[in-house]
Amino acid sequence: MNLTSKLPNTGTTIFTTMARMARECEALNLSQGVPDFDPPAALVRAVQASFAGAANQYAPMPGAQPLLEAVADNLHRRFALRLDPQEEITVTPGATEALFCAINALVGRDDEVIVFDPAYDCYEPAVTLAGGVVRHVPLAAPEFAVDWDHVRATINARTRMIIINSPHNPTGTVLAQDDLNQLAELTRDSRILVLSDEVYEYMVYDGRSHLSLLSHPELRERGLAVSSFGKTLHATGWKVGYLVAPPALTAEFRKVHQFCQFSVINPVQLGLAQFLRDHPEHLTELPAFFQARRDRLAELLGDGPLRLIPSSGTYFQMVDYRHLSGVSDVELAEHLTRAAGVATIPISVFYAPEARQHGLRLCFAKDDATLIEAAQRLNRIEQYLPDAA
């Protein structure tokens, strides 16, 4: 069959590839962003009770009412926002679907979308399928800060959307108030929408707070914010998240969402609502919970040969090895999985076109024994380096 691919340059995601390789090699898996601990027991019990009750038919399309209300209450607590759950919040099957549907609902043919490199992998294919064009703006090492002058120079009449991601995967940087103010100034009186990927919103460290798009009154009017319960409740396998946007944007978003997914698994939604009502402390304790792991990994790698890029958020730590070897990070990540039994993610896959980089991303949402063993092996990295190609 003569098949013309709509995504000719897209392969299987690096997360799938590395997670599979880690399993095959029985390697310690610091690659895909998944915790190796369970969701809270009270949450599992609440979901189990919902499955056993009378909640096993379709949820309403926007989301189960108790969950919409629990999310609205949480946003009120955090940002003093009074949102209409029916008009401004939509429960989605993970952040991935929310991002995909938002892009497909709002980006038209030949519209331009600004994405910051390195960027999470699901943005560009969604823009391409929508008929839009991605404009890449680099975040420069070692700070990986946004160069707003570069953004200004990239904006033109076709610019439809800017995608931001804070805390940022894979670098661990977080946006500051000044970043949001500059973004507001650049988009003022324009047709540009802001899509804000905030799945790591509770993983912000060193006493800083997460600056959500929703905390900025001007950006909130032209923005869509995406969250993931998978990340905040250590339940990535459940694939439940939500999108918050003003009514007019929500209405457009739902036109696509209703035919992509329609509604999200109802018993899980009800269990999540119960847990969020009963255990608000879970969310407030998350920064300290993950900061302890970040600090632990940094301490374990501290005297070793890898250079750590400071991580202010997410559950990822980036390390640089260019002073040790010129081998490409894709080759090194594969080699380390086989030879050292530690799986990581090469940074270059977050760049387009895939650029040669010398960085690895390590996920520290792991138990202490795994972090200790992985760090010991990574500290011996010089034994494992292949010859540079």
Contacts with ligand GLN, residue ranges (CB under 6 A): 13, 15, 32-33, 169
Residue-level length of the chain: 389
Q: Which of residues 128-157 bind ligand PMP (CB under 6 A)?
A: none
CA distances 18 to 169, 197, 314, Å, are 16, 23, 19
Measured distance CA(360)–CA(317) in Å, rounded: 8
Q: Which does 165 bind (CB under 5 to 8 A by kind): ligand PMP, ligand GLN, none?
A: ligand PMP
Let me know: does 285 contact 92? Beta carbons within 8 Å.
Answer: no
Token match 């990239």: residue?
154
Q: Which is nearer to ligand PMP, 273 or 365 (CB)?
A: 365
Distance in Å, CB of 255 to ligand GLN, minimum: 25
From the list ligand GLN, ligand PMP, none, pick the one residue 13 interacts with, judged by a Cβ distance below 5 to 8 Å according to partner type. ligand GLN
| CA nearest to 344, candidates 377, 295, 388 | 377
Tell me which of 169, 187, 291, 328 binds ligand PMP, using CB under 6 A.
169
Taking CB under 6 A as the criterion, the residue among 128, 236, 311, 348 binding ligand PMP is: 236
Shortest approach of ligand GLN to residue 247 CB, angstroms?
A: 29
- Residue closer to ligand PMP by CB (options 160, 239) is 239
φ/ψ of residue 152, rounded to 5:
-55, -40
Q: Using CB under 6 A, which residues numbered 11 to 70 contact ligand PMP?
A: 33
CA distances from 259 to 107, 146, 232, 264 (A): 17, 35, 27, 12
Beta pairing, strands 28-29 & 342-343: parallel
Q: Which of 17, 165, 215, 337 binds ligand PMP (CB under 6 A)?
A: 165
Position with the least CB separation from ligand PMP: 94
Interaction between residue 95 and ligand PMP (CB under 6 A): yes
By the rule CB under 6 A, 241 interacts with ligand PMP: yes
> Of 109-128, which residues contact ligand PMP (CB under 6 A)?
120
CB atoms within 10 A of CB 383: 9
Alpha carbon 48 to its chain centroid, in Å, reads 27
Count of residues of this chain found to bind ligand PMP when the rule CB under 6 A is applied: 15
* Residue placing its CB nearer to ligand GLN in the complex, 15 or 148: 15
Residue 239: left (phi > 0), alpha (psi -120 to 50), or beta? left
From 215, 210, 243, 214, select the one nearest 228 (Cα to Cα): 243
Segment near ligand PMP (CB under 6 A); pick from 79-87, 236-244, 330-338, 340-348 = 236-244
Q: Would you say 289 and 247 are in contact if contact means Cβ atoms under 8 Å apart?
A: no
Q: How far is the CB of 122 from ligand GLN (least distance, A)?
A: 7
Residues that bind ligand PMP (CB under 6 A): 33, 94-96, 120, 165, 169, 197, 199, 228, 230-231, 236, 239, 241
